[in-house]
């Protein structure tokens, strides 16, 4: 079956540090890949997505590249801010038809000033 494995948290960084959150997946075929973010007290929000190999998704300074050869979709940001403190979820969809998403366990990120 499909699965997503995320880097164990929690992750604590200082403001302006470089961020990487690792995500690898197992899926048949050509899944679409997503990063969602959950800020304290809020619902999950789509952060970025990539739908085919070598695509790069980007939003709010975050980036992730779909690497089929390593089955990875690592999330990166060059300089984090306190407002980036949240839980980040990697997810995949086995088809582009907006059927079910399979999520990783989430990585809690805390940025200290």
Q: Could you give the CA distance from residue 24 to residue 68 in angstroms, rounded to a whole number?
A: 10
| From 11, 24, 76, 103, residue interacting with another protein (rule: CB under 8 A) | 103
Q: Could you give the CA distance from residue 87 to residue 9 in angstroms, rounded to a whole number?
A: 9
| From 14, 15, 16, 46, residue interacting with another protein (rule: CB under 8 A) | 46
3-state SS, 36-88, equals EEECCCCCEEEEEEECCCCCEEEECCEEEECECCCCECCEEECCCCHHHCEEE
Minimum distance of another protein from residue 50's CB (angstroms): 9
Minimum distance of another protein from residue 107's CB (angstroms): 10
Give me 66's structure tokens: 């779909």
Minimum distance of another protein from residue 6's CB (angstroms): 8
β pairing state of 44-50 and 32-38: antiparallel
Q: Is 104 in the site for another protein (CB under 8 A)?
A: yes
Interface residues for another protein in 73-102 (CB under 8 A)? 89, 91, 93, 96-102
Q: List residues binding another protein (CB under 8 A).
A: 4, 6, 32, 34, 36, 41-46, 49, 51, 89, 91, 93, 96-106
């Amino acid at each position: 079956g499909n699965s997503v494995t995320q880097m164990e948290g929690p992750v604590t960084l200082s403001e302006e540090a470089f961020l990487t959150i690792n995500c690898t997946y197992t899926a048949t075929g050509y899944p679409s890949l997503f990063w969602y973010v959950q800020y304290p007290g809020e619902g999950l929000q789509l952060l970025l997505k990539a739908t085919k190999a070598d695509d790069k998704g980007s939003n709010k300074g975050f980036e992730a590249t779909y690497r089929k050869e390593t089955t990875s979709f690592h999330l990166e940001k060059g300089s984090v801010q306190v407002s980036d403190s949240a839980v980040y979820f990697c997810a995949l969809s086995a088809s582009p038809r907006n059927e079910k998403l399979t999520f990783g366990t989430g990585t809690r990120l805390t940025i200290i000033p």
